[in-house]
């Protein structure tokens, strides 16, 4: 069930035999190979500390591999362009507390030298996408955890990213909020078709959201299973369906196998 | 809510009134000599009667304090920003800032006063040296306390050093800087007074500290107390001013300045 050769050739993100050892000697990743085609929604699923977040940081260029190669697109020019068009959502909302919601979202454009008028329009548009139009003037401390996360997502979307990197963005939220944000994310992905790399430790979340799930082994992390998820139209009904549950079961078994193998 | 607000004014004012009353009673009933302890009414009376001497002296001290504070803000912030740019600059400069800070201003005063011919300039240098340090250390700490993820986010969005400083590091450091300013405001006044004592400036251009010293020498205790009262009021005013500035600057976002709903 691995992705075919045609997809590999057109990969937007590719990691080849990537290893990462930190200064304190921790081997976070070893022999990671993966490639992501444009428009895919790929989940990286694995236990805590398996180096999922490290992969995101490597792709974003916030960190460099100890061995192997991280390539974006087909050429160095394309890599530079893609790197400028990365939207990154952290585990925490990571907002500037001194700035309003609108200013937080707008900063992504301001730093890209977008003219002021255009910033206003695009911020309004991005806030509408996440259902926060009426909170533009609020400060982060006035918002709930879920709303802060929506602002963080709007901030990633406003720059119209080609590649969206999400680092367990919903891990700290309650289940109801989490389901709603999952649905929002799926809806937006269907609308904009960015390439998404989504880090999670939730089996159900990964199966619900993704077009592909990569299961990782514990430290040093490695991709041990690559599963395609059929697009059955994400909905509440699908979440209840036997097909969905069968897929979740299969992913779950793969995760357990990976952990047992390491132990 | 209204009641708490009213009480929070009434309680300290009431205690102050009782203290002054007790002072008054001790002096009048206890038959205390004026040169030991003047009555509160006499202190206030002296303050008005001697205003032609104390007023200009207050003005000199205020000018000295605020000029030193302004220079300390400019110098402290500039050096903190410089030190935040490079660990090596920080390592090279920080020891001197510490040495200046730990050396008592009284010990430093004679050396500086004898080397700078203009006394007011010498006093300014002394007050500056003292006020500068809390602003430097607090601002430097603030610049280092930027959220790591936000820093990464700014990098990802292609912010250069200058824009990161302006849009991220400066606002992050603002609460720390304001704490430094509150401390510096208080000790700038103390330093101005101590420096003047140590330097022993006199004549037309002398400040409150000299007038206090002079009155003490002449056993004019009411005037000593009047000068003391002026210094205390000035100190409280500086503290109130810097606290208000801090609360105003942080009103929208910082935990220290945001009222809590219950």
Residue A3 confidence (pLDDT) = 45
Same domain? For A15 and A81 the reply is yes
| Nearest CA distance, B1 vs chain A (angstrom) | 22
Residue of chain A minimizing CA distance to B257:
A98
Same domain? For A178 and A128 the reply is no
Residue A1 confidence (pLDDT) = 40
Same domain? For A252 and A171 the reply is yes
Q: What is the mean pLDDT of residues B61-81?
A: 95
Q: Under a CB-based contact definition with an 8 Å cutoff, are residues B196 and B210 in contact?
A: yes
B31-47 pLDDT, tens per residue?
A: 888 888 999 999 999 99
Cβ separation B171–A110 shorter than 8 A: no
Q: Under a CB-based contact definition with an 8 Å cutoff, are residues A228 and A212 in contact?
A: yes
* Percent of chain B's residues with pLDDT above 70: 96
A131-179 pLDDT, tens per residue?
A: 899 999 999 999 999 999 999 999 999 998 989 999 999 888 888 888 8
Residue of chain B minimizing CA distance to A97:
B253
Cα Dmax for chain B: 77
| Nearest CA distance, B159 vs chain A (angstrom) | 6
* Percent of chain B's residues with pLDDT above 90: 59
B197-222 pLDDT, tens per residue?
A: 877 655 556 889 889 988 988 999 99
Q: Which residue, A244, A211, A243, is CA-closest to A228?
A: A211
* pLDDT of residue A190 exceeding 50: yes
Residue reference for tokens 């800070």: B101
What burial class does residue B204 get, using C-beta atoms within 10 Å of its C-beta: 0-12 exposed, 13-18 middle, 19+ buried?
exposed
Residue A100 confidence (pLDDT) = 96
Neighbours of B159 (CB within 10 A): 20
Boundary residue ending a domain (A133, A160, A187): A160
User: Can you give the residue ranges of every domain in chain B?
Assistant: 37-249
Boundary residue ending a domain (A104, A139, A160): A160
Q: Under a CB-based contact definition with an 8 Å cutoff, are residues A170 and A199 in contact?
A: no
Q: Which residue, B167, B165, B180, is CA-closest to B81?
A: B165
Distance of alpha carbon A33 from alpha carbon A18, whole angstroms: 7
* Percent of chain A's residues with pLDDT above 90: 52
Same domain? For A206 and A77 the reply is yes
Task: Give B-chain residues touching A112 at CB under 8 angstroms.
Answer: 157-158
Which residue in B145, B151, B153 has the most chain A C-beta atoms within 10 A of its own C-beta, making it the best mutation to test that interface?
B153
Same domain? For A42 and A167 the reply is yes
User: Where is average pLDDT lowest: A15-19, B128-132, B143-147, B257-261?
Assistant: B257-261
Domain hosting A155: range is 93-160
Give the pLDDT band (50/70/90) at residue A16.
Answer: very high
Residue A44 sits in a domain of what CATH number? 3.40.50.300
Residue B203 confidence (pLDDT) = 56
Distance of alpha carbon B196 from alpha carbon B204, whole angstroms: 14
CATH number for the segment(s) B37-249: 1.10.3720.10
Q: What is the mean pLDDT of residues B47-73?
A: 94
Q: A20 in helix, strand or coil? A: strand
Residue B77 confidence (pLDDT) = 96
Residue A238 confidence (pLDDT) = 79
**What is chain A's mean pLDDT, rounded?**
88
User: Residue B224 is encoded by which pair of tokens?
Assistant: 């000593």
Residue A9 confidence (pLDDT) = 52
* pLDDT of residue A7 exceeding 60: no
% helix, strand, coil for chain A, step of 5? 45, 20, 35
Same domain? For A148 and A217 the reply is no
Q: B260 in helix, strand or coil? A: coil
Same domain? For A104 and A224 the reply is no
Residue in A62, A98, A107 closest to B152 by CB: A62
| Nearest CA distance, A68 vs chain B (angstrom) | 22
Same domain? For A221 and A256 the reply is yes
Total number of domains in chain A: 2
> What one-character DSSP code corresponds to residue A141?
G
- Between the alpha carbon of residue B96 and those of residues A196, B133, B136, B217, the distances in Å are 51, 10, 12, 38
Task: Give B-chain residues touching A96 at CB under 8 angstroms.
Answer: 150, 168, 171
Distance of alpha carbon B69 from alpha carbon B84, whole angstroms: 22
Q: B78 in helix, strand or coil? A: helix
Q: What is the mean pLDDT of residues B5-9?
A: 87
Residue in B147, B149, B163 closest to A111 by CB: B163
Q: Under a CB-based contact definition with an 8 Å cutoff, are residues B182 and B198 in contact?
A: no
Residue reference for tokens 């040093």: A220
> What one-character DSSP code corresponds to residue B88?
H
Same domain? For A81 and A103 the reply is no
| Nearest CA distance, B253 vs chain A (angstrom) | 5
A→B contacts (Cβ < 8 Å), by residue, are 60-62, 84, 86, 88, 90, 92, 94, 96-99, 107-108, 110-112, 139-141, 159
Q: What is the mean pLDDT of residues B49-70?
A: 94
Cβ separation A112–B158 shorter than 8 A: yes
Boundary residue ending a domain (A113, A130, A160): A160
User: Residue A40 is encoded by which pair of tokens?
Assistant: 């895919």
Q: What is the mean pLDDT of residues B220-239?
A: 94
| Nearest CA distance, B250 vs chain A (angstrom) | 8
Q: Is the dihedral of CA B219, B223, B227, B233 positive or negative?
A: positive
Same domain? For A252 and A203 the reply is yes
* pLDDT of residue B181 exceeding 60: yes
**What is chain B's mean pLDDT, rounded?**
90
Q: Between chain A and chain B, how many beta carbons pairs sit less than 8 Å apart?
A: 48
Task: Give B-chain residues touching A108 at CB under 8 angstroms.
Answer: 157
């Amino acid at each position: 069930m691995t992705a075919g050769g045609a997809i590999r050739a057109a990969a937007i993100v590719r990691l080849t035999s990537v290893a990462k050892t930190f200064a304190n000697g921790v081997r976070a990743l070893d022999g990671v190979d993966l490639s992501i085609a444009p428009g895919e929604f790929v989940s990286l699923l694995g236990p805590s500390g398996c180096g999922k977040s490290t992969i995101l940081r490597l792709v974003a260029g916030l960190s460099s591999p100890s061995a192997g190669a991280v390539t974006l697109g087909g050429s160095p020019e394309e890599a530079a362009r893609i790197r400028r068009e990365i939207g990154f959502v952290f585990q925490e909302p990571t907002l500037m507390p001194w700035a309003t919601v609108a200013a937080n979202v707008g900063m992504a454009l301001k730093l890209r030298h977008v003219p002021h008028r255009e910033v206003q329009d695009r911020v309004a548009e991005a806030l509408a996408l996440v259902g926060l139009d009426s909170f533009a003037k609020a400060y982060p401390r006035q918002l709930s955890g879920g709303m802060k996360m929506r602002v963080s997502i709007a901030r990633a979307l406003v720059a119209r990213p080609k590649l969206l990197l999400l680092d367990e963005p919903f891990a700290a939220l309650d289940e109801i909020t989490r389901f709603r944000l999952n649905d929002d994310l799926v809806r937006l992905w269907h609308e904009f078709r960015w390439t998404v790399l989504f880090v999670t430790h939730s089996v159900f979340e990964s199966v619900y959201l993704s077009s592909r799930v990569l299961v990782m082994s514990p430290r040093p992390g490695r991709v041990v299973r690559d599963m395609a998820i059929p697009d059955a139209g994400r909905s509440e009904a699908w979440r209840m369906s036997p097909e969905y549950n069968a897929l979740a079961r299969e992913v779950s078994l793969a995760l357990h196998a990976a952990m047992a193998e390491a132990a | 809510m209204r009641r708490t607000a009213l009480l929070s004014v009434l309680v300290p004012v009431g205690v102050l009134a009782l203290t002054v009353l007790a002072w008054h009673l001790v002096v009048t009933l206890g038959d205390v000599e004026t040169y030991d302890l003047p009555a509160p009414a006499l202190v206030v009376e002296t303050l008005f009667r001697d205003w032609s001497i104390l007023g200009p002296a207050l003005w000199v001290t205020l000018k000295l304090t605020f000029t030193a504070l302004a220079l300390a803000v400019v110098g402290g912030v500039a050096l903190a920003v410089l030190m935040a740019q490079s660990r090596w600059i920080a390592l090279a400069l920080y020891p001197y800032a510490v040495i200046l800070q730990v050396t008592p201003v009284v010990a430093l005063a004679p050396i500086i006063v004898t080397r700078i011919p203009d006394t007011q300039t010498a006093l300014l240098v002394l007050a500056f040296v003292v006020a500068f340090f809390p602003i430097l250390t607090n601002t430097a700490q603030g610049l280092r306390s930027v959220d790591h993820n936000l820093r990464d986010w700014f990098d990802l969005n292609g912010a250069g050093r200058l824009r990161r400083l302006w849009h991220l590091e400066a606002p992050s450091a603002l609460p720390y800087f304001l704490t430094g300013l509150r401390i510096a405001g208080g000790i700038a006044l103390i330093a101005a007074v101590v420096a003047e004592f140590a330097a022993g400036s006199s004549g037309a251009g002398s400040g409150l500290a000299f007038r206090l010293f002079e009155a003490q020498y002449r056993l004019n205790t009411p005037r000593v107390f009047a000068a003391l009262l002026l210094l205390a009021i000035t100190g409280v005013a500086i503290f109130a001013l810097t606290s208000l500035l801090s609360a105003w600057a942080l009103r929208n976002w910082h935990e220290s300045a945001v009222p809590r709903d219950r």
